[in-house]
Structure 1
Amino acid sequence: MEMVHIPVIYQDHYLLAVNKPAGLVIHPTYKHADGTMWDAILALLACQEQESWTPPRPPDKPEWAQAPLEVQAMLRQKMYERIDREEGLLPRPCLLHRLDKDTSGVVLLARTERSRRFLVKQFEERSIQKSYLAVVSQGAPEWTRPRTTCTVSISQNRELVPLEGSPDQVICQGCEFVIQGPLGRDPEDYRRCVVIEGGQDALTACTVLAVERGFALLNVHPITGRTHQIRAHLAAIGWAIVGDQLYATEQAKQLGLTRQFLHARSITVRHYPEKQERTFVAPLSLDLQDWLQREMPAGSRALE
C-alpha cells in the first residue's frame, strides 16, 4: 500500500504536530491493519536523520558529597539513566488524542516520556484549547434527537443564558452558544453517539462565523473530548455537519463533499520543557477551501 504524505506542522525533540488528511484512520485496527496515519508517521520518522540532541548532565547533588566516591559514581549513573529514559526519545511517539477518519486537522504526538506526562496532564485537566471549523445545515435524522435533557445556552454580556424556544435561533452571524448534554453510544447502533441518559458529560462551545444559502460556518471549541462529540451535539440541536455520512440527512450527505466539513483548525497547549503556551494551526484542506468558495463565499471571506 502506498504511504500517505502527512504534512508536519511542527517538530522538535519533545513534540510532533501534524496535519492529518481526511479519509485516513489514525491508528491500526482490526479493520485497518495498515495504511494509517500512524504508519505514515513511523515511516516519516524512519527517513529522518538521527538528531544530535545531547541529554543534560546536571551537577551532583550536594548531599552526595559525604558519600564514598564509588557511591557517588553509582548515584550519578542512576541519575543519568533516569534522565536518558525520561528525556530521551521514546521508541515510538505517543499519540495524545484522535480525530475521526473523515475529519482533517492538527494532531499532537509526544516524543519523550516527560513531555508525554506533561501533555497528558493538560488533557486530563481540560486546560488544552481546541478549535474546529464546521459547516452545518438545518436538519438531522430522527435518531439524533436527544433522549434526555440537552440544553443550549446563548452568550449575552459574557454570561450564558439558557435558550428558550427553538435552537434555530442561535444560527445567526456572530452568535455564541454552548451545547450541553451527556453523550453515549446509541443502543440501536453502536457506531452512533447520542445525547442519552447515563452518557458522559459533554460540553461544546460554538461561534457562528458566517451564514449563507442555508449553511452556517462555525468555530467550535469542544470543552470535553467525547467520541463524535461535535458531530453528535450539532445533530442533536437539528444542525448536522454537511457531508457527514452518519449524522446528516440524505440531502446534506450529497452537497458536493465526499466527507464531512469538519477540520481541527488549531490546538493550544503548554509546551514542554519551557512550559509556555503555544498554538499549532493546521491550514484548511484544499477540498474544504474549494467547497467554501463554490457553495458559501461568505464563509470563505470570514476566514480571510
Structure 2
Amino acid sequence: MKKFRIEKEHQRMKISQYLREVQNYSGRSLRNVEVFLNGKQVRLTKKLPSHGNLRVVEKKKGTDIKPIKLPLDIIFEDEDILVVNKEPFLLTHPTQKKADFTLANGIVNHFLEKYGEVRVPRFYNRLDMNTSGLIIIAKNSFAQAFLQNFSIFEKKYLAIVDGIIDDEEISRIKDELAKDEENHKIQDFEKENLKAEVEKVRKVGKIENEEFEEKQNFEKDEKNKIIIERRIFRDGDNLERIIDEKGQYAKTAVKVLKTYHEKNVTLVECELFTGRTHQIRVHLKSIGHTIIGDELYGNGLNKELGINRQFLHAYKVKFTHPASKKEVELEIPMFTDMKEFLEK
C-alpha cells in the first residue's frame, strides 16, 4: 500500500496520469491496483482535487511456488525491495526439471513468515545456478515496474579467469577488439537504444589536489579496463552461446584487479551494460580467458584444487530506490570458495 499527499500543482490531473507521470507507476502496474481518495474508493479516471490524500492498494497476487524454509543471507530489506546474497549451487527460480528447493521457494517462505501471506517473488535480476551473489527482488508490482522502467541500475561481478592478463595481454586484447570493431561495425541505433546507464558520463572540472588524484585513478582504471562489444548468438537449441554477427548486441567492461602468477589466473571485475544469457562467460571466452570452473565454456571442475563451480560472483549493485528515489549501493565480499582458492 502506498500513500500520497495531493499537492495543488496536480489539481485536475487524472489519478492514472498522476500515478504514471509523478509517482512513476507503469501502465501495466495500474491494472492491478485499487485507489482511494480521502478514504473513498474511486476510479483511476477521476480527477484530483487541490489537496487531500491518495491511497493505492495493490491487489493480491498468489503464486504456485511452494514455500520452503531456506537460510537466506539478507543484505537489504524494506517494504519495497529485498536483496539477498545467493549461494552457489542454488537455482534462482523453479524449472520444469527442478520444481522446488530454489531461491524462489525460500523467498516465498520468507514473505509468508514476515507478512502472514503467500506473495509472488518478483526477481529483477537472476543468476546462473553456480554463480553466487546479489539478487534483487521487488515486493510489489510498483517496485518491479519502477526498477524495470526508471531505475538507474549497475551490476558488477568478480571472476577468476584462466591465464595472466598483464599490460602486454591487455594491449593484445584491445588491438584484437579494435580490429574486430573495424570489421564488424556495431549499429549506432543499437547503442542509443540501451538504457541511460549504459554510457556513463564523467564530469571534468578544475584539476586541483583531490581532483588530480581522481583523474590519475580514472586513467589507471581505464588502462586496466577492456571494453568488449560483441554480439551473442544462440544457435538453435544449443545451450552454449557464441559470438556471431547474427546475435544480439552485448557490452561488458572487464577490469583487471590482480594477477596470480603461481596459479596462472587473474582476478577481474566485470560490469554488465546489457543482460544477455551467459554474457560474461561468453565474452571472457572470446578474449581467450575463460572463467575457472566453467563447465560449458572453460576447462571445467577440478575438485583437487577446490574448483567445484564456476568462479563468478555478483558482488556489487547500484539502483534507484522506487520509493525514496535515492541511490542505493550494496557491496559484499568475494564468496568463500573463491577466496580460499586464491589464498591456498
Q: Common fold, TM-score beyond 0.5?
A: yes
Matched, 1:205 2:282: no
Equivalences, count: 228
Matched, 1:114 2:139: no
Query: Secondary structure at the residue paired with 2:134?
Result: strand
The structural deviation recorded for 1:115 is 1.3
In 2, Cα distance between the equivalents of 1:173 and 1:216? 17
- What do the CA deviations read for 1:242-262 (whole angstroms, capped 9, x no partner)? 011111025879742100110
* Alignment CA distance shift 1:251-1:109 (3 Å): closer
Is the Cα–Cα contact under 8 Å of residues 243 and 260 in structure 1 kept in the other structure?
yes
What residue number does 1:177 align with? 226
More strand by share: 1
Equivalent of 1:129 in 139, 147, 154: 154
Query: Secondary structure at the residue paired with 1:191?
Result: coil
Is the Cα–Cα contact under 8 Å of residues 15 and 111 in structure 1 kept in the other structure?
yes
Matched, 1:190 2:238: yes
The structural deviation recorded for 1:47 is 1.9
In 1, Cα distance between the equivalents of 2:255 and 2:286? 17
Query: Secondary structure at the residue paired with 2:71?
Result: coil
The structural deviation recorded for 1:198 is 1.3
> Structure 2 matches for 1:88-167, cutoff 5 A?
91-122=119-150, 127-138=152-163, 153=174, 162=178
* Alignment CA distance shift 1:224-1:252 (3 Å): farther
* Alignment CA distance shift 1:240-1:173 (3 Å): farther
Is the Cα–Cα contact under 8 Å of residues 122 and 144 in structure 2 kept in the other structure?
yes
- What do the CA deviations read for 1:127-159 (whole angstroms, capped 9, x no partner)? 3111100010139xxxxxxxxxxx9648xxxxx
What residue number does 2:331 align with? 281
Query: Secondary structure at the residue paired with 1:221?
Result: strand
Read off the aligned partner of 1:279 and give its amino acid letter.
E
> Structure 2 matches for 1:1-304, cutoff 5 A?
3-48=69-114, 91-122=119-150, 127-138=152-163, 153=174, 162=178, 175-187=224-236, 190-213=238-261, 214-250=264-300, 255-294=305-344
The structural deviation recorded for 1:118 is 0.8
Is the Cα–Cα contact under 8 Å of residues 173 and 210 in structure 1 kept in the other structure?
no
Query: Secondary structure at the residue paired with 2:83?
Result: strand
- What do the CA deviations read for 1:210-261 (whole angstroms, capped 9, x no partner)? 0112111001101111000000110111100001111102587974210011
Is the Cα–Cα contact under 8 Å of residues 11 and 17 in structure 1 kept in the other structure?
yes
* Alignment CA distance shift 1:194-1:253 (3 Å): farther
* Alignment CA distance shift 1:103-1:15 (3 Å): same
In 1, Cα distance between the equivalents of 2:285 and 2:260? 19
What residue number does 2:34 align with? none
Is the Cα–Cα contact under 8 Å of residues 68 and 106 in structure 2 kept in the other structure?
no
By relative contact order (CA 8 Å, sep 6+), the higher-ranking structure is: 1
Is the Cα–Cα contact under 8 Å of residues 265 and 283 in structure 1 kept in the other structure?
yes
Is the Cα–Cα contact under 8 Å of residues 244 and 252 in structure 1 kept in the other structure?
no
In 2, Cα distance between the equivalents of 1:14 and 1:90? 16
Read off the aligned partner of 2:142 and give its amino acid letter.
R
Read off the aligned partner of 1:162 and give its amino acid letter.
A
Read off the aligned partner of 1:25 and give its amino acid letter.
L
Read off the aligned partner of 2:238 and give its amino acid letter.
Y
In 1, Cα distance between the equivalents of 2:300 and 2:76? 38
In 2, Cα distance between the equivalents of 1:24 and 1:272? 28
In 2, Cα distance between the equivalents of 1:203 and 1:2? 37
In 2, Cα distance between the equivalents of 1:115 and 1:250? 38
* Alignment CA distance shift 1:251-1:90 (3 Å): closer
5+ long unaligned stretches in structure 1 = 51-88, 140-150, 155-160, 165-171, 295-304
The structural deviation recorded for 1:18 is 0.5
- TM-score norm. by structure 1 comes to 0.68
Query: Secondary structure at the residue paired with 1:190?
Result: coil
State the percentage of identical aligned residues.
33
- TM-score norm. by structure 2 comes to 0.60
The structural deviation recorded for 1:90 is 9.3
Aligned-pair RMSD on alpha carbons? 2.9
In 1, Cα distance between the equivalents of 2:142 and 2:286? 39
Is the Cα–Cα contact under 8 Å of residues 173 and 211 in structure 1 kept in the other structure?
no
